[in-house]
């Protein structure tokens, strides 16, 4: 633990590929004393660099490879078991026959034609048929048990079989019906039809020479069904008079399969209340619990201004109403519930958007049974009709069983034998054909698990419905837990299965644990996250595509506004234009004509206190007269006044106009348009102002942000939740615990602007946040660390004031200019002023850290073996040469195996320049196998680094684990050494046998791929003992270079020419305080045998678009930051006094270690004086 406990706060800024971290010591009043630590951590979001184009994650790519390996292992074991059974029944081994082009098909067809009299021949042919089918056995839905294949008849043949039969009929029988031949009989007759012609193609695939491959269509469909081949095997067994027991054992062995469904069942967590397995979120128990837990926290406003709970009758009415929802296209809204169930106005329903017990938030849409929606949402067809009919008639136990089957969480074979609750669901599944089973498997149900078991969920739901109490009271009454009890949470760093999220969890966990060890428990942990911070890179990319479409739509609007004479188009101009278009150029209140230039924007319902609800459904384009007369009261209240009626204003008239809204193309989807109208009508009906903001309503609503909050909160405060101690107060610091808060990114941006930090932060390339300087993540973490709930509320009010005043182009009578908010009369004004003073003190500390290079930018490295694909997927043919022929040095270097390479270079007539001359008597020994004369030996066909695999070769691509730096020398005739630096790029493949050894010092043989494809001068120096190992480099390593001589001729150095020199010169001004800013570079790859690809550590290419045009258009800067980077040879780098920096979890350089961790080193430290 910490040697000295101090009072400090932690800020965490979560982004898509980055995390900002900060620990700030504060005094008793919360003012900053010093920055203990701050850093920006850059990570890859879990994306596999070899699948970057499709944003595939390492987890997904490795999962595909792992499943493929597992499939091949299981296939080999299955065939081994089949061989044992075949030997048991005396079926001879016929492997060579299987290699004949059409032999197995003809053999199978003849077996199905009739009985083979010759016993030996019959047994041989049966062996051929069974082995052939076992290797090409087709597909079976995993819901279908293998025993279902024991009794296949004509009626069970698949659509694929029928298609095959039709093709053969058209080809050989002029479309006339053929009997129900087996697949092999159809193929045999098809082949016979091509007798004397070029060979017919059976399977669909690729054809033609490599490099000019084309699709070639065969007679067989892409995927035959196992039921078709089982039908054929049964026909063969019947024709050849195979006993029933023997036939059944053989058929079961051929189609043996292990379903992956239910494999994770044993890893399900336990409910802390009952000790039973946690329920699926797709289960009806959880879905019903979620509905009831939500609506018990709703309140109804009374005429006196107070709020009351829902009565048990009202609660059950809402619950019953939501249970009946089955159409995804007509989801209910809270407005529907108010109107159809409670018979009140939407404005009378309170609690929407609030957070209730357990950290759950009541969303803007009522919860429904999502599983039921998925079941009833199937597209029309026989499955939809059958499943809906079964679902509506089944009891809840059978439905729950079906949900478990569809969620792949139970072993079908096991429950079929031991659990009667699954009988109805399994009977239904058994009644489906293959096509229906495939569609059934694609039904998407909610994922994940609830905190409680089905038993606990059912008890809590029933109790809340009977009593009308909320979850807190029900849980206490049933399970007798204390007031502060909360469900236990997983460890902070425990993976969730989402690679991007898991990276954030690991980074956050490591930083918090190190802070705890060094400084003790923090007073507060505040987390800020962006929309994409807890999504995968692929999801963020898809979201970006949607944003791009929206941006294109907005650009069209901007163009129209510019053509109309609007010089500078802002967000509020676009909103105003959309409102006028929707309203068909009429004032929403009185119906008079308005235009973009004459209208004003008005809040239909104002908010109590500062600011307003600035959603589009609360904005109306109105004429100036209506806007002035309505003033700052709800529309429904104003519409009842005499002056409004005299003007022709009425609620019914406004609602009618909303129903005839004219939405522009691409503005909203049809469903969104309906919801928009419904929501706006409710706003028009509302007679009371919106409630003022509270601290809880400002916190993040992101599910993953909430998950991170729960984990951190549980780690630091679990003792308070497990005992009867009072939990910490949200509004006060409590040194006995740690307050944890999560905010959206908009709060941090508003804090920077409100405190006056914008324009005064010493970033590279500008004093505002441009995202060019990667340290902005650390700065944001510092800012969010100083955030407090009361301040966040004021900042949100200030932001809403700004939006409202810009959109309405006026300041209400009871408002002040947003720039002057808060005023002395505002609640929390003194705390805000104190916070503002603390932020200016923080600014000095941050600028000092920026100026003197005290904020490191750290990249997490992957040092373990096998951190990416070992090779590319495409298999290339090998080049075959007779051993006795002349073999060039290039071909020898491309030998298909290390053993072959070693055997060839060890021959006495081998020359490094010329290779091997022709020699008929040449003999070699490769792994115990002797080659001589005209025996063929294999070589790789191209110059790319490759390995032999599956009878061909696969390129290794960029599958390097690290690069080793060597100080090499040659000795001249005069005895002087000529020093040069080189590197060996070490492929993962060459480290496979070093799994339990030091990967960075593991000896590399001269026959290894890494040595054979390295620069020859370096390899020669190493093998001759004229090289000294300096150290290793990995992608992500930080290099500090001395570029001082590259900036000024006056300091004795030569100015660095080219793009790097221009880059240094452009940012020279920002690096005057500490030149290390432009001296820090990151290894981004090893593009060839002698060069590194470097990028500036402190700079991000994404920020260029926010810079001055002279920087944006600068080709050198753009190239270095966003394109090829700085490609420079290792030898050139060696002349810049390079230092490789490895850092600890706080970003501090690590120069020594007792734990085998990577350490920093200087290249010059290894130099020997001559």
Does some domain include residue 715? yes
Does some domain include residue 872? no
Provide the pLDDT for residue 94.
Answer: 62
Provide the pLDDT for residue 1049.
Answer: 40
Give me the number of domains the chain comprises.
7
Does some domain include residue 114? yes
| Tokens coding 899 | 């053993």
Provide the pLDDT for residue 1010.
Answer: 96
Provide the pLDDT for residue 1034.
Answer: 95
Q: What is the CATH classification number for the domain harbouring 721? A: 3.30.420.10
SS3 40: strand
| Tokens coding 785 | 């660390």
Domain boundary pick from 830, 859, 888: 859
pLDDT digits (tens, 9 = 90+) for 113-170: 999 999 988 999 999 999 999 999 888 877 677 888 888 888 888 888 888 888 888 8
Q: What is the CATH classification number for the domain harbouring 886? A: 3.30.70.3520
User: Do residue 1065 and residue 927 come from a single domain?
Assistant: no
User: How far does CA 430 lie from the centroid of its chain?
Assistant: 36
Domain boundary pick from 694, 717, 739: 694
748 touches 784 (CB < 8 A): yes
In this structure, what are the phi and psi dihedrals at residue 246, rounded to the nearest 5 degrees?
A: -65, -45
- DSSP string of 146-157? GGGGGG--GGG-
Instruction: Give the residue numbers marked as catalytic.
Output: 13, 603
744 touches 1049 (CB < 8 A): no
Residue 77 exposure: Cα atoms within 13 Å on the Cβ side: 9
User: Do residue 1056 and residue 1083 come from a single domain?
Assistant: yes
What's the rounded Cα separation, in Å, for the pair 601 and 575? 9
User: Do residue 517 and residue 623 come from a single domain?
Assistant: no
User: Do residue 458 and residue 390 come from a single domain?
Assistant: yes
In this structure, what are the phi and psi dihedrals at residue 268, rounded to the nearest 5 degrees?
A: -70, 135
User: Do residue 964 and residue 1033 come from a single domain?
Assistant: yes
Domain boundary pick from 632, 661, 694: 694
Angle at 921 between CA 918 and CA 923, to 5 degrees: 100
SS3 readout for 289-302: HHHHHHHCCCEEEC
SS3 1142: coil
Provide the pLDDT for residue 1109.
Answer: 64
| Tokens coding 1145 | 């979890």
325 touches 331 (CB < 8 A): yes
| Tokens coding 415 | 């429950």
User: Do residue 206 and residue 325 come from a single domain?
Assistant: no
- DSSP string of 416-438? HHH-GGGHHHHHHHHTS-HHHHH
| Tokens coding 526 | 């505040």
23 touches 33 (CB < 8 A): no
Does some domain include residue 933? yes
- DSSP string of 72-140? HHHHHHHHHHHHHHHHHTTPPP-HHHHTSSSHHHHHHHHHHHS----HHHHHHHHHHHHHHHHHS--B-
Give the list of residues 6+ apart from residue 178 with CB closer than 8 angstroms, or none: 165, 168, 169, 186, 189
714 touches 721 (CB < 8 A): yes
Query: Rg of the chain's alpha carbons, rounded to an integer?
Result: 37
Low-confidence ranges of the chain (pLDDT < 50): 1, 532-535, 543, 695-697, 700-701, 724-735, 1047-1054, 1167-1170
Q: 119 exposed, middle or buried (CB, 10 Å; 0-12, 13-18, 19+)? A: exposed
Provide the pLDDT for residue 80.
Answer: 93
CA distances 883 to 316, 891, 934, 1067, Å, are: 86, 12, 6, 60
What's the rounded Cα separation, in Å, for the pair 103 and 97? 7
Q: 542-553: buried (b, 16+ CB within 10 Å) or exposed (e) per residue?
A: eeeeeeeeeeee
Does some domain include residue 264? no
- Per the listing, tokens 């926290």 go with 297
Provide the pLDDT for residue 1167.
Answer: 45
Give the structural domain span for 553: 539-567
User: Do residue 740 and residue 822 come from a single domain?
Assistant: yes
SS3 451: strand
pTM score over 0.85: no
Does some domain include residue 966? yes
Does some domain include residue 865? no
- Per the listing, tokens 């010092």 go with 1001
pLDDT digits (tens, 9 = 90+) for 268-286: 889 989 999 999 999 999 9
Give the largest CA-CA distance in the chain: 116
User: Do residue 979 and residue 1123 come from a single domain?
Assistant: yes
CA distances 37 to 29, 764, 782, 845, 846, Å, are: 20, 20, 9, 11, 11
User: Do residue 554 and residue 463 come from a single domain?
Assistant: no
User: Do residue 198 and residue 240 come from a single domain?
Assistant: yes
What's the rounded Cα separation, in Å, for the pair 749 and 620? 28
1046 touches 1058 (CB < 8 A): no
What's the rounded Cα separation, in Å, for the pair 216 and 712? 57
Q: 1002 exposed, middle or buried (CB, 10 Å; 0-12, 13-18, 19+)? A: middle
Give the list of residues 6+ apart from residue 579 with CB closer than 8 angstroms, or none: 599, 601, 616, 619, 620, 621
User: Do residue 763 and residue 900 come from a single domain?
Assistant: no
DSSP H helices in 431-570: 434-441, 454-467, 471-479, 499-519, 537-563
DSSP H helices in 615-771: 624-630, 635-639, 642-646, 651-659, 670-685, 695-698, 703-722, 745-754
DSSP H helices in 699-788: 703-722, 745-754, 776-785
User: Do residue 690 and residue 703 come from a single domain?
Assistant: no
What's the rounded Cα separation, in Å, for the pair 1040 and 1028? 21
Does some domain include residue 266? no
């Amino acid at each position: 633990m910490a040697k000295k406990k101090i009072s400090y706060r932690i800020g965490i800024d979560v982004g898509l590929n980055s995390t900002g971290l900060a620990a700030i010591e504060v005094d008793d009043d919360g003012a900053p004393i010093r920055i203990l630590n701050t850093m920006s951590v850059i990570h890859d979001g879990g994306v596999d660099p070899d699948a970057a184009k499709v944003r595939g994650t390492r987890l997904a790519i490795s999962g595909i490879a792992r499943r493929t390996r597992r499939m091949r292992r299981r296939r080999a074991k299955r065939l081994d078991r089949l061989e044992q059974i075949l030997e048991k029944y005396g079926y001879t081994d016929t492997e060579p026959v299987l290699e004949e082009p059409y032999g197995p098909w003809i053999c199978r067809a003849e077996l199905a034609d009739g009985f083979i009299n010759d016993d030996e021949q019959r047994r041989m042919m049966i062996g051929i048929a069974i082995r052939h089918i076992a290797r090409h056995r087709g597909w079976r839905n995993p819901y279908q048990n293998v025993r279902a294949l024991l009794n296949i008849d004509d009626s069970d043949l698949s659509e694929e079989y029928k298609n095959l039969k039709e093709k053969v009929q058209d080809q050989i029988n002029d479309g006339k019906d053929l009997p129900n031949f087996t697949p092999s009989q159809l193929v045999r007759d098809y082949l016979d039809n091509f007798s004397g012609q070029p060979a017919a193609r059976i399977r669909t695939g690729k054809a033609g020479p490599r490099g000019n491959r084309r699709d070639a269509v065969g007679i067989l469909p892409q995927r035959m069904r196992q039921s078709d081949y089982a039908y054929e095997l049964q026909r063969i067994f019947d024709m050849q008079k195979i006993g029933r027991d023997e036939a059944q054992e053989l058929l079961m062995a051929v189609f043996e399969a292990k379903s992956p469904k239910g494999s994770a069942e044993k890893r399900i967590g336990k409910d802390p209340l009952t000790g039973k397995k946690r329920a699926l979120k797709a289960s009806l128990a959880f879905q019903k619990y979620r509905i009831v837990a939500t609506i018990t926290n709703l309140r109804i406003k009374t005429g006196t201004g107070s709020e009351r709970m829902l009565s048990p009758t009202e609660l059950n009415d809402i619950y019953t109403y939501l249970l009946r929802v089955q159409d995804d296209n007509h989801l209910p809204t809270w407005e529907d519930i108010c109107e159809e169930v409670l018979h009140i106005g939407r404005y009378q329903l309170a609690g929407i958007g609030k957070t209730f017990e357990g950290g759950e938030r009541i969303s803007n849409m009522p919860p429904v049974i999502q599983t039921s929606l998925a079941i009833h949402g199937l597209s029309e067809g026989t499955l939809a009709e059958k499943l809906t009919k079964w679902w509506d008639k089944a009891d809840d136990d059978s439905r729950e069983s079906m949900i478990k089957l569809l969620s792949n969480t139970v072993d079908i074979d096991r429950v079929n034998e031991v659990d009667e609750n699954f009988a109805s669901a399994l009977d239904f599944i058994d009644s489906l054909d293959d096509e229906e089973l495939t569609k059934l498997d694609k039904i998407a149900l909610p994922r994940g698990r609830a905190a409680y078991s089905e038993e606990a969920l059912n008890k809590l739901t029933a109790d809340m419905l009977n009593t009308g109490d909320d979850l807190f009271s029900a849980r206490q009454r049933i399970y007798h837990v204390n007031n502060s009890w909360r469900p236990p949470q997983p460890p902070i760093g425990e993976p969730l299965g989402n690679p991007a999220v898991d990276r954030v969890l690991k980074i956050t966990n490591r930083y918090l644990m190190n802070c705890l060890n060094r400084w003790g428990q923090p007073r507060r942990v505040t987390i800020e996250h962006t929309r994409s911070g807890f999504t995968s890179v692929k999801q963020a990319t898809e979201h970006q595509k949607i944003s791009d479409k929206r941006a294109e739509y907005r650009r069209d609007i901007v163009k129209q506004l510019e053509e109309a004479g609007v010089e500078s188009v802002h967000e509020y101009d676009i909103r105003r234009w959309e409102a006028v278009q929707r309203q068909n150029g009429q004032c929403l209140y009185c119906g008079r004509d308005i235009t973009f230039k004459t209208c004003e924007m008005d809040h239909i319902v104002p908010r109590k206190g500062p600011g307003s609800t600035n959603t589009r459904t609360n904005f109306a384009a109105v004429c100036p007269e209506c806007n002035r007369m309505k003033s700052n009261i709800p529309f429904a209240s104003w519409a009842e006044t005499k002056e409004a009626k005299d003007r022709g204003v009425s609620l019914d008239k406004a609602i009618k106009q909303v129903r005839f809204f004219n939405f522009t193309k691409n503005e909203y989807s049809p469903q969104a348009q309906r919801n928009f109208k419904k929501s706006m009508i409710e706003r028009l009906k509302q007679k009371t102002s919106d409630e003022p903001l509270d601290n809880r309503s400002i916190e993040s609503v992101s599910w993953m942000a909430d998950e991170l909050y729960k984990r951190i909160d549980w780690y630091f405060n679990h003792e308070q939740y497990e005992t009867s101690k009072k939990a910490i107060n949200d509004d006060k610091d409590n040194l006995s615990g740690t307050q944890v808060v999560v905010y959206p990114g908009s709060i941090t941006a508003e804090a920077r602007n409100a405190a006056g930090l914008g324009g005064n932060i010493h970033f590279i390339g500008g004093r505002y946040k441009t995202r060019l300087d990667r340290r902005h993540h650390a700065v944001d973490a510092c800012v969010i660390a100083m955030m407090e709930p009361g301040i966040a509320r004021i900042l949100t009010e200030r932001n809403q004031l700004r939006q409202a005043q810009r959109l309405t182009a006026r300041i209400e009578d009871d408002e002040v200019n947003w720039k002057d908010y808060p005023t002395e009369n505002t609640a929390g004004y003194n705390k805000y002023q104190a916070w503002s003073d603390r932020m200016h003190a923080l600014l000095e500390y941050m600028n000092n850290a920026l100026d003197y290079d005290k904020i490191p930018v750290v990249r997490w490295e992957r040092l373990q073996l096998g951190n990416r694909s070992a090779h590319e997927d495409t298999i290339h043919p090998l080049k075959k040469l007779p051993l006795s022929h002349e073999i060039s040095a290039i071909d020898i270097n491309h030998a298909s195996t290390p053993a072959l390479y070693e055997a060839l270079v060890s021959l006495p007539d081998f020359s490094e320049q010329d290779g091997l001359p022709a020699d008929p008597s040449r003999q070699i020994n490769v792994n115990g196998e002797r080659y001589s004369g005209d025996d063929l030996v294999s070589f790789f066909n191209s110059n790319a680094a490759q390995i032999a695999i599956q009878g061909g070769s696969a390129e290794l691509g960029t599958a390097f684990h690290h690069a080793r730096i060597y100080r090499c020398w040659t000795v001249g005739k005069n005895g002087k050494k000529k020093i040069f630096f080189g590197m060996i790029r070490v492929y993962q493949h060459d480290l496979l046998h070093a799994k339990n050894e030091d990967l960075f010092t593991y000896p590399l043989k001269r026959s290894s791929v890494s040595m054979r494809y390295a620069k020859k001068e370096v390899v020669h120096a190493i093998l001759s003992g004229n090289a000294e190992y300096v150290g290793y480099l990995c992608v992500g390593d930080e290099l500090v270079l001395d570029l001082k001589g590259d900036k000024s001729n006056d300091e004795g150095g030569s100015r660095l020419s080219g793009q790097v020199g221009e880059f240094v010169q452009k940012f020279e001004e920002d690096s005057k305080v500490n030149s290390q800013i432009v001296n820090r570079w990151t290894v981004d790859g090893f593009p060839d045998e002698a060069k590194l690809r470097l990028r500036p550590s402190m700079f991000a290419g994404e920020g260029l678009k926010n810079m001055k045009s002279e920087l944006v258009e600068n080709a050198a800067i753009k190239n270095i930051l966003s394109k090829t980077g700085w490609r420079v040879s290792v030898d050139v780098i060696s002349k810049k006094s390079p230092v490789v920096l490895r850092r600890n979890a706080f970003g501090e350089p690590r120069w020594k270690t007792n734990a085998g961790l990577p350490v920093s080193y200087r290249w010059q430290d290894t130099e020997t004086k001559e």
